A and B are shown apart, each in its own frame.
Chain A
Amino acid sequence: MTSIPITPPYPAAASPRRRGWFAQLGVDTAYVVVGFPLAVISFAVGVSLICAGAGLLAAFLVGIPVFVLALLVARGLAEVERSRIVPVLRRPRVPVVYRRSAPGSGWLRRLFSPLAEGQYWLDTVYGLLRFPVTFGTFSVVVTWWASALGGLSYGLWDWSLPRDANPEPGVIVVNNRGLPDVLGIANTTTNRILIYTAIGIVFTVTLPFVVRACALIDAWLAHGLLNGVAGLRHQVADLARSRDVATARTAAAVSAEANALRRLERDLHDGPQQRLVRLAMDLGRARVQLGSDPDAAARTVDEAITQTREALDELRTLSRGIAPPILTDRGLAAASAALAARSTVAVRVELAQLPRLPALTEQTAYFTIAEALTNVAKHSGATSASVSASLDGDRLIVDIADDGRGGAHLAKGHGLAGLADRLQGVGGQLWVSSPPGGPTSIRAEVPAVPAASVQEGEAG
């Protein structure tokens, strides 16, 4: 089974799902708490290597590799951080590409190449900067957790605090004043428990917000320095890609249009024009014959009448090829049924439930069905075929299948290639599955933004 998408699909990157506040609190806490030791390592290693590198810079060839080592370490830690911020920021990881030296370049060039890549330096800056920032956020998070847990559970361990006026030998109570004393309240067990529990509640309630804020500060610093440039590059690449798609689309539309016009011109030339010239010729002969041989003139005029009828038939067929009246009047379902009725192969049509769609959608779908059924009749050797169409959101999916011998393909110069161009021109796609021996199935996806409900009333 070969499926040939005409436009490559661009899957949207999966976005991490939202989690509950409690789970998020866990994620954020872990992020900040683990972040601090990482920051310490990052800062310590970074500063040592950079200082060593700077010190050895005098001995050129020794200092540079040390710098490079600093950059590589920074990159390693940065990669860890890029993964860690994903659950915090709840956005997919940005793929960051580090420029490499060209393949086959010498070891010296390979060694120096990180020095020329800005992202390495940003990673290093982050490695140094994260330490003071994380230091602050880590302290706040630990304080909040400690105050919340300690306050809430104070009633359980109040008894364990030394409060004796006469402490055991070796224990020195310097100033055993509690918070109640400061607030001017009697320093009783009940009051202490009440006050500390209240404080614990306050910290507990604010805990998720404070921890989230700290985690966001850390994560945004990392995101900004580590992903910012890459993000911009991706945006530029995305824009370029969508422009390329648009260009390809236009080109396909133009070529489909040009082909259609050429074919129309040929059809006009080979059909009605010839008939009309012949008609004129016959009438001219008839006029000459009138004087000498009225019987011959009558025969010639009869022929002329036949030519006229045939010219009309041909014009009708042609206009059906340009914009079939039944499609405009009754919509895709009726027009497809008409196509099926004209086909030499038995065709089952299933698209009764379709609403009226925009003209371009209906036309594209109609020509897809017409071309496919023509192929079925001409090439497939099939005894039966089926046509179905359904709306999937704002796309119209059209399926045409037959029980023939297969072997249809999208090679240039075949009707299917023109069809693919036509579909690409309107932003759709065509798939053909036609293994040798059959069966053949063709699927077309046509963009369809259903026009407002007015259409329903008009359809009758």
Chain B
Amino acid sequence: MKKIYLYYLSSLMLFPILAQSQVKSKLWYDGNARVLYNRDALEGTLKETDTVSTRSNGGGFTILDLGFHFTPVDDIEIFSEVRLKNDFGGMWGNKSFVELRRLSAKGVINKKISFSVGDIYLKQTKFTLYNYEQELSEYEPSVFKFYRDFVNYENYYQSNYWRLQGVQTNFSYNMYNFIEQLDFDGFAARVRGQEWMGKPELLMIGGSAVIKSSNNLNLGSHYVNTFEILSSSNSLVTYYNPVLNTQLSYSGTLKDKPYKVLLEGGFSKRGWDGDSLAPEIKGNFMEASIHSKSKKGEINLGFRYVDTDFRSTGAQTRRINYNNSTTTYPYYSNNYTQRKVSLIDMMSDPNIYNQNLSTSLMNYNPMYSSISPYGNATPNRIGLTADIDNFNLTDYLSVKVQAQYFSEIIGQGTTNKRSFNKSALHSLLSLDKLLSLKNSFDLEGSINLETVKRDGEDFEKIDFNSILYSGSISYELIKNLKIIAGAKVFYAEGNEFIAERDMYDQINDYSNNTYDSKETILIGGIQHHFTDDIYFTMQYNQFNVLDKTNTYDEFSMGRLIFMFNMNL
């Protein structure tokens, strides 16, 4: 009897809590918190020869990005992310910043049509709207991931989406015959706002329609048009760039192995209305690929053709802007030499990255990216690709392999065409599994090799090679606390022509550049994971950039860095 009374009493006391947990909360929070402190110091001969730059400089910040999710009704969610930032060195708010990082709303109409407005993330196909990864980031050892996460987060890079302001809607129809499902998606975004006495407003509209059939055959059509609004400025010229991409895919099995075949093609047009000097160019592309996945790993084989005149604002915009100044030591040496964007900055500096779509082909550095500087949408390419992903040779060794062979379709400045080769290999060796150790012990290594060649007369020959060696060791001392060490060594040698383009992207000159450089990055320290999303790292980095054609401007720097990251 006593037990029954206790039982009823406990239920009565706990009832409100139980009741509360059954009611959905209208307001909830998420976000990210980060603390970063770094101290950079010149090293090597620069310490003696550079009497103008500071020997060392430190900086850092604390950031709290607080996201508020509010659902006034079940079908609508309003999201707002506010950043509170305090730079080190400021007390009582004199170096504090508050800014609105994101504001958007999304919802579902009649349980059928979903929509998003405000700051939205958009992605379509690799030829219409796609945010390609930055160069030399593929096959990067995991010890460098904290830098990559920091750079991507600050620049709103999420899984190849572009962050734009606009509205998006999508809906589906289920059917019961040969056609199983119809998916529709449409969006409109403002890429560039009105400028006082400047360029017209630039908008992007797009849509997708996908037919899924009952025999595993899917047909999709994707369209994007980037255009300027004539009435939004005093200019008489407006830009336009429609791109259409049609995809046909088929999924099947061959000898019990599933595979997927994708065939896609399309065209683009780009011009300037109202400008009699501007050319209108039309280009097309085609890609065919076969993908198969098994327990052992995944394999991809592909063929790609992209016309010289193919242009796509949404797919050919690059992440790295080589015209931006570097944050760390933008100028150095007594000659006040401007420090060019190098591997250090690509790895760790969010300020050299670009967040806006570009209507013209952005500059790139062939040293770091000569094969596909604009991703799959790089114009003037025809060739084959093959890659093997997550291939488990044994239960402690997995590898990834990639090979690409491309040729130009039209020679630049000559009838001789460039040939491009890329080979990449990544391996992960889990020594703890091999040696039956209790604590995690991983070795990672990767090689990325790119070559560009062109035959012909002496004045047009190209012979360029670049190779990036990366490696890392990660040993778990105690639970979740690891000692980490990593290295990247990059070599670039040879010559390559950089095309100089006018305002219409037409080539009007070339510069023949000679490269003979070596860059080294070494990192070592500790890393502790509270959870997968909450960790801190403290380490020492050593950077060296040597251009052997100009050894006087060698740059060496050491960095002590502490970073705490928490995803809420």
Do A and B pair up? The answer is: no
By a beta-carbon cutoff of 8 Å, the part of chain B in contact with chain A is none
By a beta-carbon cutoff of 8 Å, the part of chain A in contact with chain B is none
